[in-house]
Structures are given as structure tokens and as C-alpha cells.
Chains A and B, each alone.
Chain A
Amino acid sequence: MMKQTLMVLCIMFFSTVDLPAESRVDYRTEVKPLLKTKCFACHSALKQKLKLRLDAASLILKGSRRGPVIVAGNASESLLIQKITATDLSQRMPPEGEGEPLSADQITLLKRWIDQGARMPDEAIPSAPTEHWSFQQPVRTFIASSGNPIDYFLTEQLAPLGIQPVEAADRAVLLRRITFDLTGLPPTRSQLKAFLSDDSPRAYERVVDQLLARPEYGERWGRHWMDVWRYSDWAGFGKEIRYSQKHIWRWRDWIVDSLNADKGYDQMIVEMLAADERYPGDEDKLRATGFLARNWYKFDRNVWLDDVIEHTGKAFLGMTFKCARCHDHKYDPISQSEYYQLRTIFEPYDVRTDRVPGQVDVDKDGLARIFDARPDALTYLFQRGDPKLFDKQQPQNPDVPDVLGGTFQIEPVVLQLEDYYPAIRDFVTRDLLMKADDSLAAAEEALLKVRTTSDAENPDHVIILTEKKRDLAQARREEVKARIEAEQAKYRRSDVSDLPDDEQLASQASRLEKQATVAEADVALASAKSQLQQALVAAQETPGDKTSKAVDASKAKVKTAEERLVKATESAAQESTSYQTLGPLYPPSSTGRRLALAKWIIDPGNSLTARVAANHIWLRHFGRALVEQVDDFGLRTTQPVLIKLLDYLAIELMEKNWSMKHLHRLIVTSRAYRMSSSVPLGNTPAREKDRDNTLFWRQNSRRMEAEAVRDAILYVSASLERRMGGPEVDHMQGMTVPRRSLYFRHARERQMEFLRLFDAANPRECYDRDESIRPQQVFALINSPLTLAQSRKLAGRLTEQLKSIKQPLDNFGDDGFVRAAFETVLSRSPVTSELDECRRFLTLQARQLGDTEKLDLLGETSNSVAADSDPHQRARENLILVLFNHNDFVTLR
């Protein structure tokens, strides 16, 4: 590069004969780069302050709103020169703080260029960013053809190139493809047989309908959307939560439930961003806000909110807002202040855990959800993204980026009592009372026990302590009841009109609460005395320094406990009306900003939302997206060749109530989806003109996702537990607990090794999975506890089945076994050469295993399922294991 520059300079030096004194300034290599560094940020396609653009010759000549900025041949008359040389800082360009002034040499250069006539070549005008394709409304193309419109749009591109789409896939291949695509599991053998023998013209469509109706659909596509929406269980150090939240699995279950119910995608967005504002009392929908609760980050609120902005933008709009955190976006028309306006929308929100029925301890179970904790919190623009640099006088207003259009209208939300004071809900007060009852019953029982056993085992001090504990449980129950009554009277006066007045209830609650504190101090004293007694006995039995020190320490504890009791008793004697609430009280209103954002995102006028979603769905049916950068539809991404198709899908999605199942059905019933993924040999036009299959003249074969690989192993072995939902399962149990993979803990540094090796989603960000082929995957399939155990189970099951159906014993039943194994594991029959190989293998392997004395043991651990003692059966187990390692087991063709 350097060389080229030098060469250009040299040529200029020696060729400008007419200007011997000073060389001619070159616009392209000297002027334009300078303008680019110093002026383009505000005067180009990206921004046009004062309507001035300096990014094309004709526009430079056109000038600004104030008129021409250069007078060719006369630098000193040119406004541009006056501006860059202004001594008045309010006049100078670039403005103070937005860029360094031009150096003397740079000024001279521009002056010379203008004096020499400001020569510029004709240049194309870079188009305005607002004209970018993805910022324009999707356009529906009406087509005359009666077939699936997808095929029409593809043919429209392929036909002029002379590319013939390939043939339909083999029916067994198709059934496996569609079954995995919609449920994440393979077809069963009987489903395979039924489909292969169903000649009716709508056999495939029927299968599609059945698959879409199965609950496994929600699990399969739930995991896809969990990638995009960044599902992460909590993570941290020991018990300390640093990322995400406990019980976030409720959000995962909401995703699965919503997909199975075919809830509109628009509705899902509203619930994820603002269920607390739109459906404040609906616990079912509140689960959705896990989308935002998941961003909780212990150490840095700025990082937390940056993540929220970045990924809300990428997931729903395909926009990379993050670039605008420190400066105006380099590529997209998003200014830095617009970034902070977006942040203002999220500034008030925080995460809380509400109680769920049956559990008062939110650590053990609860609903992690969001709410506006600080409705008045202000957002400032951080200069250069530095949280230390901001102007306190200039808080930002909540808003959305201009370039995306639409209306953003905020209506504050007034919340009901139960929404901002969730502990007052009936089930919570019931649970609190029940817990107090249970504690009392337990204390009574303990007391009964010590009273009815011998004195020797239970000296008096133990009985006294147990009595005091019972008294405490009694007092706790009383005070809980009193506090509940007082709180209900205070907040629900109309419900309890015949009860004593508030003041009286409040002072009773206060009194009983203090009495409970006295009872607690009493227990502490009795406990200290009991310990002292024990210490005294010990000192008597084994006199010495150690035991006497223990006596002294116990005495000191008794003294402290006595003082505490005195204090508590004194405090209890004082009249008061204050007591603890039943749980936290939150702000009684919400700003409504997030709901406004959600409504703006799902507005049909938003040109991005439906396109981005349709693109994600297409990607997961074809292994390649229509817009390949699925998380960036901004200016860096050029209009896709198949824009008509994308727009058609986006409009279909919106017009059919944002039904995803509708879009799936439309896509998978296209001829394109059903094509074979293999290509006949030879130089077809397709290979020459579209080698990378960007126009979908064939299907793509795909490496299956990690979860599909693991689930399929369990499913074909009839081990997969079909129970859905519930708390996340320990990721270390993945080899032995036969639940579907999406139910296992998945967080940074807490994810199942097996899944990680097959490119499981990075919980931080995964809009599009990798499909690696690594030697480590070999071991996960050939050595792991999972594959060894399941291959043994499946082999046993198939052998049993063969016995029961009494097939003719071809080749000792091996042929039948191999067929059954192929159909079960690979969802297809073996071809002759495969059958031959497997037969030979079974014979040799059985023979080898018949004489184990000649063999060396390799594994060191035993498996939950032992290998069969019969060498022949053990060979069959190995055959199943081999099929789990078959390329086509992990491949969707």
C-alpha cells in the first residue's frame, strides 16, 4: 500500500509541468482522505449538518444550506477555509470537542487545492443511510403462480442462470429431516414404515401437521429461541450469584409453552420486554421477563444495561446499537445520544423474586421477574462511553432511534396493590401462616418428645430450652397472624370493615412482634444456660485448662443473652404501631417505557422486526440464512438477493397473527425444503454459478445441534424421559439423567461438556451456531458413559423384539438386527454393502470377544449398564455404538 502511495506521489511530481513551483494537489489521495477524517462524521451520507455533504464532488460544489462552501480558484473567499481557520472557537470546524483543528499543513493543502481550481473527478453519491434496504417497509410481491410462493421466488433467481433445482429428497431422508427440524428427535421405526407406505398425496403435509402439534415442537424451537434470546441459568462463585438469576427456568418454560400454544411473536415480544407493565398481575406472563432478568449482573450496572441494549437490538431488530455507546455509530445512522435514549428506557428496571405458592423462601423457589425499581432514575450520555464523564445538567429522554421511524408513545402504568406489594396476596399470607403453624407443630412435638423420655437423657435445662422454643414458635405464629391482619386492614380497608380499626391492629402487631423478639431472646438465654450446664459437667468430668475456659466462655454468653433479654423486654414495654411488613414494597407505578418500546418494535410499520424473525426461522430450516449476518441488518449488510422472498415471509408472519407455526408450515411444504441435499457429479450450471448454494437450488446437509445429538441417543434407546419443564437439572448429570438437553443447567462455565463439544450455544451470545468437526467429538460419541450405556440398552431391546416377532433367522438373526438398528438409529435401511460390512463386523467382533484372555482392557471405569456377557450380543452392542458414531447420525441430510 505504501508503495502505491509513493508511486502516485512520484508521478504527480514529475508530470505537473505546468505547475513547476508547487505541485498540483490530488483530490483523491490528498484531499478526500483529509475530509474523511475531519469532516465526514457530520457532513456525509451518515449525517448532514446544515445540509452539507462533503463525500462526493457534486455535493461539495452544491454547498450547505448557507450556500456554496468553496469558490474554485479562491481559497480565501471559500467558506470552508474560513471555517477551518476561524479563530473564534464557536465558529471553527471541526467544533471544539468533536475533533482536533486542522494542522497548518492540512490547511495549506486545502487552500492550494482550491486555489488550483478545486479539481475533482465525477463521483457517485453515496446513498443516504435512511435509504438502506432494511429500513424500508417490506413489499409484498403478488404472484400468479398457484404453487408455494417460496419456490416461485427461488425459481425467479435460478431460471435466468440456467440452474435446475435438484430432485426431491429420498422419502426416508425427508422424514428424518422434517422430524428433527420440528421436534429435535428422529422418527420412530413405525413412523418411518408408515410414511414410506403412505401413498396419499397429502401424506407429507399430514406428518407436518402432526409434528407441529407435538409438545416436542416447543422444546425444539424453544432451544433455538433460547439461543437468540440468550438463555442463561444463574452463574457465579459458590453460592454468590453474579450473572442471571435463580429460577430463570420459568422463562424457559414460558418459551416452550408459548411456542406450543403458537402465541404470536408480537405478543411474545411484549411479554418479554414488558409483561410487568402490560399484564402486571399475570404470573404466567411475568415469566417472560426472564429475557431482561437474565441480564442481571452483580458487579456493574453499566455492563448490565449495555448488554440489554445490545441484545434487545440484535435479537428483535437486527441492529448493532452497541457501537454507539462511545461515539456515533460508525456505519449505521444511530447517534451516541440515541444510544443513551434507548438506555433511558431500561434505566428504571431491576429484578426481583416474587414468592410462588407453597414456598415462602425465594431462595428455594420463586419467580424472577423485572419491575421498574427506580422510575425517576436519570440517564446521562457517557462521553466516549466512560461512565465517569457525563454532564449532570443534561439527562437523556427515553426515545427510539429516528432512522427506524414509527411512533414511540409512553403511558405510565398505575399498578394494583398486589403487584407492588406481592406479599399481601392471599396465597402468600396463607403460606406464611402455614409455615408458622408447621413450626409450632414441630416445636410441640419436640417438647412432647423430651418430656416423655427419661430424665437422665434430658436434664432440666434441655426441657426448659425446648419449652422456650415452643413458646417462640407460638409467639411467631401470633405475630405473623397479627401483622397479616394489620396489613390487610391497612391496605384493604373495604374488605375488613367489621374488624377493629387500623391503629388498634397496628399496635397489636407491633406488640406481638416485640413479644416474639422477647421469646427469641429467651430462647437464646435458655440455650446459653443449657450450654453452660454442659460445660460445667464437662469441666467436672475432665478438669483442665480447656474445659474451664469453655465454662468461662459459656458464662460470658449467658451474660450477653441476659442483657439482650433485658433490652428486648424494655422495648416490648413501649407502645408503638410499627412492625415489619410481610415482604418488600415496590414502587406503585411503572414508567411504561418498556411497553412503549415493545409496541414500537411490533408495530407493522417497523421494517425490521418481522424480517429478522423470518430470517432466523429460515436459517434453522435451511442451515443458511437469507440475510447471512442474522444479527446485523444495518448498513454493512447489503440487500439480500432473495429480498422478495424475505419480504414475503415477513409479511406472511405479520398478516397471519405473527404465527410461527404458519411460517414453518409454509417453509417446510415448499419444494425447496424437500429437495435433496446431494448434488449429482459433473459440472452443472449450479456448480459453476452458485457453488455455495446461496440461491437454494438444493437443500444443505447440516451437522445436528448438540442437543439434538444427545436427545436422539436417548430417544432411540427408549430412555428419554418425556417430562417437560421444571427447575434446571445439574449439568454434571447429563450423562446419566435422561431428560432432554434443554432442561440442563446452561450458563457460563456451567454447561454440559458433551453439549459444549458439539458447539452448544455460548450463553453470552449465539445468534447462529457453529458446526465444527473436531476429534474431541469422536470421544464424546465413542467413549462417553451416555453412548456406551444407551448402545447396550438399545441392542438388548432390539434383540428382545426380534425374538418376540419370530422372524426367519437369516444369518443367525443378524440381518434382521442390522436392519432394525439402521432403521432405529439412522432412520433408513442399510444398503447391501453396509449390510455386508455389519455382518462381517458382528462375526469378527463376536469371535474376538469370545476369547477375552487375548484382549487388553482399555476403560478404567464401569458403566451403569454392563456389557452383555454373551459375545454375540456384546458385538451387537458395539454395532449400535458404531451407528451412534456414523457420520449420518449427527447429520441432517
Chain B
Amino acid sequence: MGQSHERKAMTKISSTSLGRRTFLSDMGMGFTGLALGSLLAEEASAQGERSGIPHRVPKAKSVIWLFMAGGVSHMEGFDPKPELNRYGGKTLADTSLKDVYSDPFVQENFRPFIGDNERSFRKKIFPLQIGHRKRGESGAEVSDWWPHVGECVDDIAVVRSMWTTDNDHGAQLQFHTGRHISDGYFPTIGSWVHYGLGTLNENLPQFVVMGNPIGECCGGTQVHLANYLGAEHDGVMLSASDPLPFGKPAGLVYRQEQAANFDLVRRLNGLTAVEYPEDAAVRARIKSYELGFRMQMSVPDIFDTKSETQQTLDSYGDGFGRQLLAARRFVERGVRFVQVYHGGGGAGSWDAHTNLKTNHERNCKAVDKPIATLLKDLKQRGLLDETLVVWATEFGRTPGSEGETGRDHHPFGFSCWLAGGGIKRGVVHGATDELGILAVENRHYVTDIHATVLHQLGLDSRALEVPGRKRLDIDHGHPIHDIIA
């Protein structure tokens, strides 16, 4: 899906918000500076520029958004379904839910990316591939593939009634934009937060992305871009192994010498911005230079873990864990939105069409302990209250089997969970039917998670709307008040 043209056009034309920092005053640019300043102020008011001040009192300052690509089984995760064992090997027709797929909910909302209507209607019941138990004081049931996150269940609010419309991995994009991939590309949740909130640390990008990037098929980089909100609200992808290519001058350069160079770049680009007032790109570039200048020092520091104890390092582990540690260090320093992918690339590594057991065992092993470590670490440091952690995946997996050992894509009911940031602790919200097929109680489309996140950050997505870019009710979603403390 190469709708980048649309994006490019946006970059070129839409008057994007310039942000709150009055960089012109820093420029000391005399008359030209004044001209540019008034021009931008005029534009800002015309565009309803964001002040960066929340619409209501925020409960959370930052978000850590963990996304498992490929589709995690809900029945073998946070929504165990023992009934599957009872009917194992039988078909749907043998159960009380034999007509479940004729439910108007399915007929109305199901929008397969491919024309294969059978794929999500697997009929042969596949028993659970792992045990489960009640955990914590709340007694929420969690599978034994998630022992460490299970220990934290009293800090978590599980939502068991998620639904989406795409039965293919374009749902990865959908989970972040709220729109089916066939509709094209739209701003992502992280970019809305970036757009809506002021910065708490001018030395770091406010929307950071880490992990294996999402595959081209499923949205690619569009899963963390800002689309019509403008390039300055894009997620900045940082790799732990090489966070800042060319981060230091390749030659003997003095700090003050480089600072003077940055200053002249800013002055000259400022003059160009006055010359081309309609050019959003030049403004975005000016901002990227401002941020870049400051990132030179601050980003390498994030990934430099010398100050962490060995115990912390061991507990997080390498790979995914090291990214979560960096995520904590980012929010500690005031970064607003940290999006971490696990298993990105291709359809996603959780996509267990065959051998679900080995697949999920392996993947859970890679993420369970690091995620639990993150939750405990945030809590211990008193950061969990102001940091909203979201764990999500694009859809669940079919209660029926695919082949002998796998489960297919399942958009009609699946789980995700939230923790911290003013979310209720130790609650389970919503439910699927007894086989895990349909979300039947308190259904939530993916944008309800967006709305909840924005609500906790003190934002109202309806107030963020950009003139000329109409959003539908379903694009905004509704905060899940039942899980808000």
C-alpha cells in the first residue's frame, strides 16, 4: 500500500502546527523574525494550533505502548476458555454457539482484507494448549505462558472484549490508526499524543519507536507516522544497537564551532520559512534541527546503561528487554509516547497458523519476564502512577483449529491490557462468549483504547481535530470508563 503520496502532499501543503516553542525569539532575527513570527501566529490561530495544554487534568504523563505483532491468542493469554477443552475435537455445530457467525455483529463489522470468508470461521474446536490459573488477589485468570506478567495482575486492567474489522495483518495498522488498511493511512495514536501534548524534555523526541519494524504488508512505517498531522509528529525510530548514526562529527570539530553552525542553519532556514510561508516542510526541518542538536547528547545517554545495576540489567534481559529498559529511561526523562514492537516484520512473529504451542511458548518466553520487570521497575520508582502501559496485539486467534496445530486470525473478540497512569488495578473488563469467539459484553473497538489513552493524558480527541480532516465517531472511540480509576 503505497499511499505515501498522500502523506507527501500533506507534508507539502497542510499547515502543520508549529508547536509551542517560540523558536523565533531564540533566533534574534530582527524584522524578519517578527515577520515570520506574526505569520506563524496568524497561521496557528487559523489552524487552531494546539497550545500543548491538556483539555482536562491529566492522570498520566507518558505512555509505553507494547505491541505484539502477528496476533496473540487470547484464550491462551488473558482470557482462558476451559470450555474449549470440553469440546476439543468436536465442531462448532456441537456447541450452543453453532450459529455464532450469523450474529449481526459479525455480519456488520467484519471486513476481511482478503475474500476468504472461511478463514476466521474455523469450526473444529481446538483445545487449550497451556494451563491457566487464578492469579493475584484479584483472581484474574491468566495462562501459564504468562507467569511473570501474571504476578503483576493486581496492577493490570484486562480488557477481554476487543474487536477489530480486518482479519488480516493490516489490522496492525488499524490498531494504531483506527482505520482498516484499505481506507489508507491516517495519523497514529502516538502522533496524536505528540500533536496534542507539550514536551516535558526538549532534548528528546516525544514519540519514540523501538523494536522490529512492522512489515510492509501490514502498514510498515505508517504504523508510527503522523500522516496529515505533519512529519514533525512522526514517531522517531531508534535502534538500541545504533541509536544515532553519525551522532558525532567525523572529524575534529569543536562543540562551540558546531553550535555556531547549527545556529546559522536555523537563521538561514528561518529566512526561507519567511520566503515560503506555505511550505510546511521547511518548518518541520527547522524543528528537526532543533531536536537533532539536543538529541546528540541525550539519545546516546538513554542507551548507555552504565548507571543501571547488574540486577536490573539481568532482570530486563537482552533484546526486547533492553528496549523496555530504554523505554523506562525515556519516560523517566519525560518522553510522552514510547512505542515498542515485538515480532514485527512479515505478518508478525506471533502469527501461529501452525504449531501454536511452540510459537507462543517461544514468544511468551521472550516478552513475559521483561514486561513484568518493566511494570515492577516503574512501580518501584513511583513512575507507574504517571506512566500508562498498554499491551496490545492486532487480533486474537480462532478458537477453532487451523490444520492440526494452529489457530487462524480472529478479529471478533480478543484481549489487551492496560496498567498504571490512573487505570484501575486488578480488574477484568468485558467478556467473550464461553468459547472465546465473540466479544459479548462491553465490546470495544480499537479506538476505545486510543480514547482511553488520550483521556488519561488529559486530552479530548474531538478537540484535537484538524480543520478539513473530518473524523468519524468511530475514529475517536470512547474512553473505557469502567477501567479508569
Contact surface of A with B, Cβ cutoff 8 Å: 1-2, 5, 9, 29-30, 33-34, 37, 41, 99-100, 103, 105-106, 323, 326-330, 384, 619, 623-625, 628-631, 636, 678-679, 681, 691-693, 700-703, 735, 753-754, 757, 762, 764-765, 767-780, 782-785, 788-789, 831, 833-834, 837-838, 841, 844-845, 848-849, 852, 854-863, 865-867, 878-879, 881-883, 885-888, 891, 893
Contacts and interface: CB of A to CB of B under 8 A. Distances in A.
A859 B39 CA distance: 38
B102 A103 contact: yes
Interface in B63-117: 98-99, 102, 104-105, 107-109, 112-117
B260 A859 contact: no
9 contacts: A33-B108, A623-B8, A636-B182, A770-B221, A776-B244, A833-B32, A859-B252, A886-B268, A888-B272
Contact of B260 (A769, A844, A866): A844
Contacts of B11: 771, 773
Contact of A692 (B9, B118, B251): B9
A629 to B, nearest CB: 7
A33 B107 contact: yes
A29 B261 contact: no
Contacts of A384: 116
A862 B261 contact: no
B288 A773 contact: yes
B200 interface: no
Interface stretch (B139-147, B169-177, B189-197, B278-286): B278-286
Given A693-B13, A887-B281, A105 B256 contact: no
Contacts of A9: 104
Interface residues of B, number: 86
Nearest to A691: B13
B99 A103 contact: yes
B269 interface: yes
A1 B178 CA distance: 14
A323 B292 CA distance: 42
Most chain B beta-carbon neighbours within 10 Å: one of A771, A773, A881? A773
B246 A882 contact: no
Contact of A861 (B221, B250, B267, B272): B250
Contacts of B32: 833
A855 B271 CA distance: 29
B297 to A, nearest CB: 10
B201 interface: no
Contacts of A878: 257, 260-261, 264
B249 A783 contact: yes
A701 B279 contact: yes
B364 interface: no
A322 to B, nearest CB: 10
A100 B118 contact: yes
B115 A625 contact: no
A883 B11 CA distance: 22
Contacts of A30: 104
A887 B274 CA distance: 13
B246 A783 contact: yes
B104 A29 contact: yes
A882 B272 CA distance: 14
Most chain B beta-carbon neighbours within 10 Å: one of A105, A327, A328, A774? A774
Contacts of A691: 13-14, 468
A702 B4 CA distance: 13
A38 to B, nearest CB: 9
Most chain B beta-carbon neighbours within 10 Å: one of A328, A857, A887? A887
Given A2-B108, A631-B2, A783-B253, 20 more contacts: A2-B105, A9-B104, A34-B107, A100-B118, A100-B121, A105-B99, A326-B114, A327-B116, A384-B116, A629-B2, A691-B14, A702-B12, A765-B216, A768-B4, A776-B244, A780-B245, A782-B249, A785-B250, A837-B268, A891-B282
A855 to B, nearest CB: 4
Contacts of A774: 231, 234, 236, 288
A380 to B, nearest CB: 19
A516 B45 CA distance: 89
A327 B216 CA distance: 21
Given A775-B291, A788-B250, A856-B256, A678 B284 contact: no
Given A770-B4, A879-B264, A863 B251 contact: yes
Given A783-B247, A783-B249, A837-B271, A330 B115 contact: yes
B347 to A, nearest CB: 13
Interface in B226-270: 231-232, 234, 236, 244-258, 260-265, 267-269
Contacts of B292: 775-776, 778-779, 782
